[in-house]
Structure 1
Amino acid sequence: MSFPWARQYEPKNGLTKFLDEKLPLPRLVYGAIGAGYPVPRNLSYMWNFGVLAGFCLVLQIVTGVVLAMHYAPNALVAFGTTEHIMRDVNWGWMMRYAHANGASFFFIVVYLHIFRGFFYSSYKAPREMIWLLGVVIFLLMMATAFMGYVLPWGQMSFWGAKVITGLFGAIPIVGEPIQVWLLGGFAPDNAALNRFFSLHFLLPFVIAGVVILHIWALHIPGSSNPTGVEIKTEADTVPFHPYYTAKDGFGLGIFLLLFCTMVFFLPNYLGHPDNYIEANPLSTPAHIVPEWYFWPFYAILRAFTVDFFFVPAKLMGVLAMFAAILVWFFLPWLDKSPVRSGHYRPLFRKFFWFGLIPTMAVLFYCGGAPAEEPFVMLSQLATAYYFLHFLVILPLVSSIEKPEPLPYSITEAVLGSDKKAVLGENTTPAV
């Protein structure tokens, strides 16, 4: 969004003037994340997660490039090169633990970012494209993480690849050819490792490109805010720098404290011990589970245990698993409420905190639990509510609820209803 009161970039010396004329990169940075980008003055720490996600992406790319220098995508030596990185490469153990735990922290930050978007309806006009690109980023993250989980070539890596790629076999007619094409054969082996390694290395750069589009789309309407009220006057905004660079810096410091605690003291806590056993196609683990960030969708997949007319239960599970994410693409049109923020939507707020959040917690838990009762039944109930929430409850609530009164402006929400403050008038008495 173009704000008439936004500070304009002014080169200060000959070098910056030359750059501004030939390659205006400083002007671009100044307008994107500097003092030339006004943002709502009431952003809370819930708006830190975008910056944290960007930091995680950079961390994954840097550590991934270093690890790729020492890794060999060959079924005979992949497990050995992983151990070589851990034992013989200088600081290799730290790079691997930072990369493995960085993936988990990346998903933690992105999940928080998504659910903040759910609560504050960040998908509503005029920010639909920002949301749609965000869902694309999430899908690319899941594909990248799955392929990365296969590379250590431990027991859970091999059997995870076997199970997940086997899901494509449930698709009628084309399923098995797709599965063979993905693996380069009838079971995970050298061809699969080479494919997955190549794509795992490439996709983070694709994600970075979509992130740039995501940020570009964000700068057209401007950032949302906790009230959901659009910017009206200059008094509603502050420059991104130094106000939010400092705030994001504090959030990044807290994040790094937690991340370093995990890397140095609990590096294997979020992993599976079976992945420290070399892959053995003749020995099936007692309980095959993906990484924790796939658990809710894995629970949805396993929730279908009975064929539906002529549709096999396995195919229904696969379709439901993908639909659980694809439904997010339609949220801008499913939620018809004129109010964005959940703070001013009492009925929506109840269904969010006491419906959607507990449902996701159950799906997370059941996805990591054995495929037995009562976990299967809990998965089925949670899956039913999950789709009911987005496809029925959300459109219905948005049509019938009576929202609470909104503040006139962002400034009023921050400073109260003082008329001069709200209108951005000068309240300092003349001398």
Structure 2
Amino acid sequence: MSFPWAKQYTPSHPFMKWMDERLPLPRLVFNAVGSGYEVPRNLNYFWNFGFLAGLCLVLQIVTGIVMAMHYASNTAVAFDSVEMTVRDVNWGWLMRYAHANGASAFFVVIYIHIFRGFYFGSYKAPREMVWLLGVVIFLLMMATAFMGYVLPWGQMSFWGAKVITGLFGAIPLVGEPLQQWLLGGFAPDNAALNRFFSLHYLLPFVILGVVILHIWALHIPGSSNPTGVEVKSESDTVPFYPYYVAKDGWAIGVFAILYCAMVFFFPNALGHPDNYIPANPMSTPAHIVPEWYFWPFYAILRAFTQDFFFIPAKLMGVLAMFGAILVWFFLPWLDKSPVRSGTYRPLYKKFFFFGLLPAMAVLFYCGGAPAAEPFVMLSQLAALYYFAHFLIIIPIVSAIEKPKPLPFSITESVLGSDEGAALAPAAH
């Protein structure tokens, strides 16, 4: 986003002038993350999680490349190659645990980033494309993480692959051929492991490309902010550098402390013990579960236990699992409220904090619990509310809710009110 008052890039050094005329990379950096990029002055720490997500992606790519140098995508030696990397390669243990816990850190950051968007209405016009690209990034992350979970070829890797790829078999007519094409056979084996390794290596670079589009789309309307009020004057903004670079630096420090604590002191806390047992197609684990970041969608999958007329329960579960993410694509048009921020929407705020967040917490818990009562019933209730929240509650609330008065400007929300305060339904 370019404002008339934004500082313009004017190189003074002869070499920088020469470079700017032929390949304006310094200008690009200056306008993207430097003093030439103006951002709202009232951003809180929830806006640091976008930058942290980019940091996590870089960490995953770097550690993943190093891990790939020592990994053998062959079912006979895949498990041993991972163990060899940890035990025999210099700093291999650090790369393995940084990569495994980096995936969890990435999803923690992304979940906070997404739910910040839910609460502060970051999906509303004119930022629909930013939101849609963000959902695409999340779907690519889910695919990449699933394929990465298969690569160690432990018990949970093998049986997780068998269960998840088996879901495609529920699709009428094309399900079983699609499943066999995905696996390269009738069950997870060498062909599947090679496919998953290739795609797991490739997809992070695809994610990086979509992230660039995501940031590009963001720079057109500019960043949203906690009030939802658009920028009106120079006093509403500050340069990204040095103000938010320093703020992001503080957030990186906190993140690094927590991340290093997991890598160095609790490296296996989020992993499943069965994945330290080599894959055995003849021995089924007592409780098959995916990684923790898949749990809410796994709970929705298992919530369907009865056929509905001619639709099998398994197919309904598959459709609901994918639909739980696909519904986010329609959120900019489901929520018709003229006010963005949940801070000024009292009814929406109640449903968010006392409805959506508890429902997600229940789905997280039930997704990692055994497929037995009362967890199945709790999953069903939470899944019912989850879909009702997006498809029924949000449209109704946006139509009947009376928002609180909005501040006249971003500056007013920071420095105090004045007599020019506007009412909530004001256009913005």
The bucket for the TM-score relative to the shorter chain is: over 0.9
Pairs within 5 Å for 1:78-157: 78-157=78-157
In the TM superposition, residue 417 of structure 1 has moved relative to its aligned partner by 2.4
In the TM superposition, residue 419 of structure 1 has moved relative to its aligned partner by 7.2
Which residue in 2 is equivalent to 1:22? 22
SS of residue matched to 2:370 = coil
- Counterpart of 1:122, as a letter, is S
In the TM superposition, residue 18 of structure 1 has moved relative to its aligned partner by 1.2
Contact map agreement 2:2 2:37 (CA 8 A) in 1? no
SS of residue matched to 1:48 = helix
Which residue in 2 is equivalent to 1:257? 257
Moved more, 361-370 or 2-11: 2-11
Contact map agreement 2:156 2:289 (CA 8 A) in 1? yes
1:344 aligned onto 2:340: no
Which residue in 2 is equivalent to 1:360? 360
* Distance in 2 separating the partners of 1:268 and 1:14: 53
Which residue in 2 is equivalent to 1:178? 178
Which residue in 1 is equivalent to 2:332? 332
After the TM superposition, which parts of structure 1 deviate over 4 Å for at least 4 consecutive aligned residues?
none
SS of residue matched to 1:217 = helix
Percent identity, aligned pairs only? 80
- Counterpart of 2:4, as a letter, is P
SS of residue matched to 2:249 = helix
In the alignment of these two chains, the number of paired residues is 421
Pairs within 5 Å for 1:2-401: 2-401=2-401
- Counterpart of 2:107, as a letter, is F
Which residue in 2 is equivalent to 1:427? none
- Counterpart of 2:83, as a letter, is E
Over the aligned positions, Cα root-mean-square deviation in angstroms equals 1.0
In the TM superposition, residue 418 of structure 1 has moved relative to its aligned partner by 4.9
5+ residue gaps, structure 1: 423-431
SS of residue matched to 2:255 = helix
5+ residue gaps, structure 2: 423-428
- Counterpart of 2:115, as a letter, is F
TM-score (norm 2): 0.98
* Distance in 2 separating the partners of 1:52 and 1:387: 29
- Counterpart of 1:111, as a letter, is Y
* Distance in 2 separating the partners of 1:173 and 1:339: 45
Q: Write out per-residue CA displacement over residues 141-192 of structure 1, whole angstroms, 9 at most, x where no aligned residue.
A: 0000000000000000000000000000000110000000000000111100
* Distance in 2 separating the partners of 1:19 and 1:216: 22
Which residue in 1 is equivalent to 2:425? none
Which residue in 2 is equivalent to 1:413? 413
* Distance in 2 separating the partners of 1:57 and 1:30: 22
In the TM superposition, residue 88 of structure 1 has moved relative to its aligned partner by 0.4
- Counterpart of 2:405, as a letter, is P
- Counterpart of 1:24, as a letter, is P
- Counterpart of 1:347, as a letter, is L
In the TM superposition, residue 2 of structure 1 has moved relative to its aligned partner by 2.2
Which residue in 2 is equivalent to 1:425? none
- Counterpart of 1:35, as a letter, is S
